[in-house]
Structure 1
């Protein structure tokens, strides 16, 4: 996996949180803690996107269920 190095400035209380999390969950580095946090943020964004997409579904589309076609292969 290719990685890029970035620099991030954080308030001291967040740095302490990262350190505590790293020690509690045996993470290898602060970077790993940030990576875990970003994966969780990505999941949250996907949940929001799926929820919004679900709201866009047209309920009138359900009439196609009774169109006489089968899901089975001929």
Structure 2
């Protein structure tokens, strides 16, 4: 996967949360924590976009939308 470096500004409390999460969940980096958070956000958006048929695939998202609860 090709990566791109970006810079973001966050409240100190969010940075601390990211650091604590990284340590407790044994993530490799803060970037990995942010990637996990964005994956959750993407999944939430997909659920909202496709509530009718959870087996569709949207090529723009590059993920199957099938999920189970």
TM-score by length of 1: 0.69
TM-score by length of 2: 0.73
1:46 corresponds to? 46
1:11 corresponds to? 11
Equivalent pairs, count: 52
Give the number of the structure whose alpha-carbon radius of gyration is greater: 1
Structure with higher helix content = 1
Question: In 2, Cα distance between the equivalents of 1:37 and 1:43?
Answer: 10
Matched, 1:2 2:6: no
Matched, 1:31 2:54: no
Gaps of 5+ in 2: 53-69
